Chain A
Amino acid sequence: MNPRWLAAPLTIALSIMVALILTIAPLPSWAEMLRPAWVSLVVFYWVLALPERFNVGWAWLTGLLVDALTGSLLGAHAMTLAIIALIADRWHLKLRMHPQWQQSFTLALALLLNAVLLFWIGGITGHMARPLDRFIPVVISALIWPWVYALLRRVRQHFIPA
């Protein structure tokens, strides 16, 4: 089907596109604050699985797209996704060996740091949030990580030749 060298970029790009769609897909307002940080989850996975292909730079560019999509300050999500990618990249060898709940824990810490940063940025620019609205998604994201991981691993094994 696809030439070998095209398979990885195409798969990664499509998975990120799906994450972007899930980020803005309309939800009833009570479910809005339960929405996981889809893009962060997908970025975390790709840096963990293929750090040579998907590095901090790509995570940063993805973040700029999120900023344009959600109307946030340009650079806010670029920064937070770069932090996620850095953490995943720094410890990817260890994290791959760890059990899932430990990956979830690391991811939760990274997302918590990001939530605090986004909370501050929101405060400075006048988009004050109730703290819970920022921190519930962190818990949800960490809880669904094992399933996201399993799904994306199947996608990778199916579409990207090792």
Chain B
Amino acid sequence: MRFAREHRLFHASSRRRTLLGAILIMAAIVLMGVDHQYQALNHLRSALMAVVYPVQWLVNMPGAIGRKLAGDLATRHALLERNAQLEQALIQARVATARMSALKRENSRLRLLLNAVGQMPGRVVATSILSVDMSPFQNLVTINAGHNMGVHTGQPVIDAGGVVGQITHVGPLQSQIMLITDPASATPVEIERTGLATIAIGTGQLNVLSLPYLPNNTDIKAGDKLIASGFGGRYPRGYPVAVVTSVTPQTGDPFAKVEARPLASIGREHEVMLYFSSHPQPSGGQQ
């Protein structure tokens, strides 16, 4: 008797749990639809990212400790040598900057003559990488800067070599970057040698970008440098993106198979730089 009642009770609660499950699955589908189409869920995602921050921090900790120990254990001699090297590099960079500023003045004067709006110089902020998700269908990097640093969606991320990617989600303390090699990423580029504009699509492989929209007779060859064209107003114009590695004309197909290797040291560096342009960028939408 007692068993039968318990059994019935259990049965009822089991059915209620199934109902709850069905409702939650529906809710998840609605959530996905809303998240795909609108920006409305940014606050929810930002709150959830705050909750998972400890997880990312923990994953990053062994590497961070290792780097710190390596720094602490370096010998005085090695440090002095490195310091001398860096001072040399700094002097060279200063010289280059001095020449740059002269060129910049000249450039802005020429732009004025051409009656064109010059690209305002931006400011960069270095941040460290918290975690990396390099699954074949998504190239995503989480960095240690969020709302607290004024990061916004669509902001370009660069390193000393070239363009790294753009911010897709911002949390309170961290944000996520979609790399230019992500299959969902398209970067407006220009062939530096000829000035021809095209689009570089990610392939999911960290060292391969694809340029699928170049006709077979395009003037392009391996070794050509690709720079950001600035179209779409997201990546800083003229900043290096990639270098062409192979050009294969496709007979029977209007477009050639062109591949390029990103110039940023994606997946190898522990620091990247956030680029703050001095005029506000349009946000929303993907390039």
How many chain A residues touch the partner (CB < 8 A)? Answer: 46
The answer to whether the Cβ of B278 comes within 8 Å of any Cβ in the partner chain is no
The CA-CA distance from A69 to B59 in the complex, in Å, is 12
B103 contacts the other chain (CB 8 A): no
Q: Which of B131, B134, B135 has the most CB of A within 10 A?
A: B135
Q: What residues of B have a CB within 8 angstroms of the CB of A69 in the complex?
A: 52, 55-56
Interface residue A68 (Cβ < 8 Å from any Cβ of B)? yes
A85-126 near B? 1/0 per residue, CB < 8 Å: 110011000000000000000000000000000000110111
* B7-47 residues at the A interface, CB under 8 angstroms: 14, 17-18, 20-22, 24-25, 27-32, 35-36, 41, 44-45
Beta-carbon contact of B137 and A89 below 8 Å: no
Q: Is the interface of A mostly helix, strand, loop or mixed?
A: helix
**Complex: chain B residue closest to A51, CB-CB:** B17
Instruction: Kindly state the separation between the CA atoms of A129 and B138 in the bound complex, as whole angstroms.
Output: 8
Partner of B21, one of A21, A85, A130: A85
Q: A24-B56, A69-B55, A75-B29 are in contact. Are A64 and B48 (CB under 8 A)?
A: yes
Q: Is the CB of B137 within 8 A of A121?
A: no
Do residues B24 and A78 form an inter-chain contact, with CB atoms below 8 A? yes
| B133 and A127 contact, CB distance less than 8 A | no
Does chain B have a CB within 8 A of A37?
no
Q: Within 8 Å of chain A (Cβ to Cβ): is B157? A: no
A133 touches B135 (CB 8 A): yes
**Which of A74, A86, A121, A133 is B136 in contact with, Cβ under 8 Å?**
A133
Q: Contact string, B93-117, partner A, CB cutoff 8 A, digits 1/0?
A: 0000000000000000000000000
Whose C-beta in chain A lies nearest to the C-beta of B135? A32
Interface residue B168 (Cβ < 8 Å from any Cβ of A):
yes
Q: Are A75 and B32 in contact (CB under 8 A)?
A: yes
Q: Determine whether the beta carbon of A73 is less than 8 Å from that of B14.
A: no
Partner of B59, one of A26, A33, A74: A26
B137 close to A122 (CB less than 8 A): yes
- From A55, A72, A125, A129, contact of B17 by CB (8 A): A55
Question: Does any Cβ of A come within 8 Å of B260's Cβ?
Answer: no
- The answer on a CB contact under 8 Å between B25 and A82 is yes
Indicate whether B124 reaches chain A with its CB closer than 8 angstroms: no
Determine if A83 and B25 form an interchain contact, defined as CB atoms under 8 angstroms apart.
yes
- Residues A71 and B132 in contact, CB atoms below 8 Å apart: no
Q: Other CB < 8 Å A-B pairs besides A56-B20, A56-B21, A78-B24, 19 of them?
A: A17-B54, A29-B206, A55-B17, A57-B24, A60-B27, A69-B52, A71-B138, A72-B138, A73-B35, A73-B36, A75-B29, A75-B30, A75-B31, A76-B28, A79-B32, A82-B24, A89-B21, A90-B14, A129-B136
Between-chain CB contacts (< 8 Å), 9 pairs: A25-B59, A51-B17, A56-B20, A60-B27, A69-B52, A75-B31, A121-B32, A127-B184, A130-B136
* Residues of B participating in the A interface, judged by any CB pair closer than 8 Å: 14, 17-18, 20-22, 24-25, 27-32, 35-36, 41, 44-45, 48-49, 51-52, 54-56, 58-59, 131-138, 140, 168-169, 171, 176, 178, 182-184, 206
